[in-house]
Structure 1
């Protein structure tokens, strides 16, 4: 009997691949820094019983409609806006993701980005590298305090809650806006609910943790930034599509807000010629929110477990 075929769209841990190979026929795109070409992905999907995908892979109607054997797409991410979930349902393909395992790691990165932006750490590092440090002055590279400031979190899911927990250790006042109020979390972490407008007006730091949906796409636009304090710092580690990047650029240039720390962008990857990169007020990272060795390995292992469950006729561990 022919083994089910699993296609992996990016190079992952050898141990995870070996585990899958004990049960299935496995093929993997061996590149780490290059997306699998679309024509190749379509050919392999046509043969595959399972795909272990990345956010960079578009799993859409075109692919699903010509993949007669496909039973599961295991996305190695929490988000799944790269997958047409409704089309997958129509074609009876199970979609899974990797929630929870990356919560603390992404929260760590979010808070690190917040601190780096507030205290202008990349500028300070370059200050020495560019041999500019010749003396000391009272306001040399002066940044913004975090302690006793107000942090506004938009989207209080598991990662947002983990960020709030870290902020309490810095004696920050934490407010949040979410589709639904979370009174149990308010009691547990001492955070307060606010309307979106109240959050924008009151926050010294606005952290976006919301998923990308039709409702949230482009929600941070010219009007949103104008309602924020001109001393406010904006942080986004969720999805690039929630921000109108042209409006953010203008908001920073015009002084509507003070600075921005970004781990995600609308069209990734970006290059050094991206307008936002030209601004000293921007700290930019290459979408590394969950990028620790431990967490990325756990994500790979969870995606593999989901594939094994579905191909063995069982329910997946983390279905979308």
Structure 2
């Protein structure tokens, strides 16, 4: 690669196709053998003086970390759609552009949400545990029964790209779609879904509730003992968005009491070490924050991050820039 190619560093090794493109189109050091934390990323940035920094959640840039970036940095490109690991206003105030990777992970995140809905409703975790133990006895007619998904009322909180993709898939199960959002969608986007102006008004009508909105570690949990109590008894809760959206103590109590029949979680308040009380619940189906974890999607995310680097270096608009 020529010396005038954009200089970049990344906090973690990306997929092979993305690394091949980095070698072909950019000036970059070899990928790290292990994901870098913030201190190691900043040390590399000062040594290499990059034009762009590619990050994931393992190397958050907030507060003093933003101030510590070298003057050479013109773009922080996160290989994620979420931005909670970045201090976007501080970066923009330093005239450092920010980009993320929306859209390309919509389908896989929606697929995972549907998997969580099915797995929680049909007791997949309990069935798997039984089979791993050797099964051993025929199940009676009334033993270990799940809940049918077809025809149920699905409440979606956050009807953005992923929420709409979940609704599209749920219609294949003849589910009725309810949603709460900051604004009502136009009729074409709604596609027959029913809008509720407040979450509290929607919850009593939901057999299944699925969360698809941003979260903040400093904001009060959206789902707490009060809101869980508004759901019909025996409903199902799914969260493939952010762990901060749920009061986990209230969730544990609701799963133990039967207020919730089951839950499916891909995200947790304390990752990667979730509350042991959650892990012990038989009616909780869990995955380790893997909504975008497919070969196709993780490759597309890395490529979009590189597209943003190329665009800024050429003086063109960012394909997926982030504003304040």
TM-score (norm 1): 0.93
Q: 1:115-130 counterparts in 2 under 5 A?
A: 115-130=118-133
| Distance apart, 1:250 and its partner CA | 1.9
| Distance apart, 1:215 and its partner CA | 9.2
Write the distance in 1 (CA, Å) between the matches of 2:232 and 2:136.
31
Q: 1:97-108 counterparts in 2 under 5 A?
A: 97-108=100-111
Q: Residues 63 and 27 (structure 1 numbering): CA distance in 2 closer, same or farther, change over 3 Å?
A: farther
Equivalent of 1:178 in 176, 181, 191: 181
- Aligned residue for 2:238? 235
Query: Does the 8 Å contact 1:276/1:282 carry over to 2?
Result: yes
Write the distance in 1 (CA, Å) between the matches of 2:31 and 2:230.
46
Equivalent of 1:111 in 114, 117, 127: 114
Write the distance in 2 (CA, Å) between the matches of 1:186 and 1:82.
30
Q: 1:258-269 counterparts in 2 under 5 A?
A: 258-269=261-272
Q: 1:285-300 counterparts in 2 under 5 A?
A: 285-300=287-302
SS class of match (1:116)? helix
- Aligned residue for 1:317? 319
Write the distance in 2 (CA, Å) between the matches of 1:38 and 1:142.
47
Q: Residues 129 and 164 (structure 1 numbering): CA distance in 2 closer, same or farther, change over 3 Å?
A: same
Equivalent of 2:95 in 92, 97, 102: 92
| Distance apart, 1:309 and its partner CA | 1.3
TM-score (norm 2): 0.92
Write the distance in 2 (CA, Å) between the matches of 1:212 and 1:28.
34
- Aligned residue for 2:277? 275
Write the distance in 2 (CA, Å) between the matches of 1:126 and 1:53.
37
- Aligned residue for 1:42? 42
Query: Does the 8 Å contact 2:158/2:211 carry over to 1?
Result: yes
Write the distance in 2 (CA, Å) between the matches of 1:186 and 1:147.
22
Q: 1:164-243 counterparts in 2 under 5 A?
A: 164-185=167-188, 187=190, 189-194=191-196, 195-213=198-216, 217-243=220-246
Query: Does the 8 Å contact 2:66/2:87 carry over to 1?
Result: no
Which structure 2 residue ranges, 5 or more long, are not aligned?
Answer: none
| Distance apart, 1:288 and its partner CA | 0.8
Q: CA offsets, 1:62-113, max 9 Å, x none?
A: 2221221111111111111111000011111111011111111111111011
Which structure 1 residue ranges, 5 or more long, are not aligned?
Answer: none
**Which runs of 4 or more aligned residues in structure 1 lie more than 4 Å from their structure 2 counterparts after TM superposition?**
1-4, 213-217
